[in-house]
Amino acid sequence: MIITCGAAPADNEDAAIAQILAEMLRDARAVISNNQDLINNPDIGDKHLTGQVVLDQAVKSYQKTTGKDPMTVDPKSRQGRLLRAMMAAIVAATDENQATINEKGTGFKGFIPAVFGRLVAEDFNQMAKGGAEMKVTAPPELVRNRKARPDAWEAEIIKAKLLDPKWPRGQSYSAVTDIDGRRAFRVMVPEYYAASCLTCHGEPKGDMDITGYPKEGGKLGDLGAAMSITLYQ
């Protein structure tokens, strides 16, 4: 569910689009998470984990979660164009990293869900051609990659809304803002640490994880990130 300040009909439509984009990325990222053992297996070369395979699995998960088939969305509609841009970005981000995924003799590849999510968002931003933008950000103290740093609006919403103990768990926040003179519908979708996240982000705080970063000391269910989605109107 999205809480929207001063929602108009067009804003409600954008809220639905934002949720669809977030769910598709979340489902694709879960595919990468579920295949970490395969990706990091040094004894196997070709993992057969192509972009299309990842997308197909993500679409199945999306259908199970939402009860809807994304392929039935009119490709000429705004929702359809952006959804297909997201699906194309999922394929591209995976295929662009086939050499890494299939590298034989190497264990940990670094192709983890967080990295995948960032790459998909970057490809999506190019494919959306100025109509929309996405970024996976986090509370400033949890950001590991400078590209994921929250801007002023994102940081304020994380602090004032998503981290507020009274904020309903899982509820997104949205508002209409102005970005460089353009009217923009902005959404923040909270994401919480699952058990699989704590391998890198859990305890003991300060210990180095497999990626070489110090663990944050996070606990199951803590706010760990937020999908920031901007739809220009």
Contact 161, 189 (CB under 8 A): no
pLDDT for residue 1 is more than 90: no
What is the Cα–Cα distance from 77 to 14, expressed in whole angstroms?
Answer: 12
Q: Which residues of 17-44 are buried (b: 16+ CB within 10 A; e: fewer)?
A: bbbbbbbbbbbbbbbbbebbeebbeeee
Structural domain count, the chain: 1
pLDDT at site 10: 58
Among 185, 187, 200, residue whose Cα is nearest residue 23: 187
Q: Which DSSP symbol is given to 150?
A: -
Average pLDDT over residues 157-177: 97
Question: Does residue 7 surpass a pLDDT of 80?
Answer: no
**What share of the chain has pLDDT > 90, as a percent?**
94
- Give CA angle at 149 (144, 154), nearest 5°: 135
Tokens describing residue 214: 């110090």
Confidence at residue 11, expressed as pLDDT on a 0 to 100 scale: 81
What pLDDT score does 160 carry? 98
SS3 198: helix
Q: What is the pLDDT of residues 93-147, one digit of tens each?
A: 999 999 999 999 999 999 999 999 999 999 999 999 999 999 999 999 999 999 9
Q: What digits encode the pLDDT tens for the residues 180-220?
A: 999 999 999 999 999 999 999 999 999 999 999 999 999 99
pLDDT > 80? residue 4: no
pLDDT confidence band for 35 (50 / 70 / 90): very high
Q: Identify the domain containing residue 159 by its residue range.
A: 2-232
| Residue 12, pLDDT score | 86
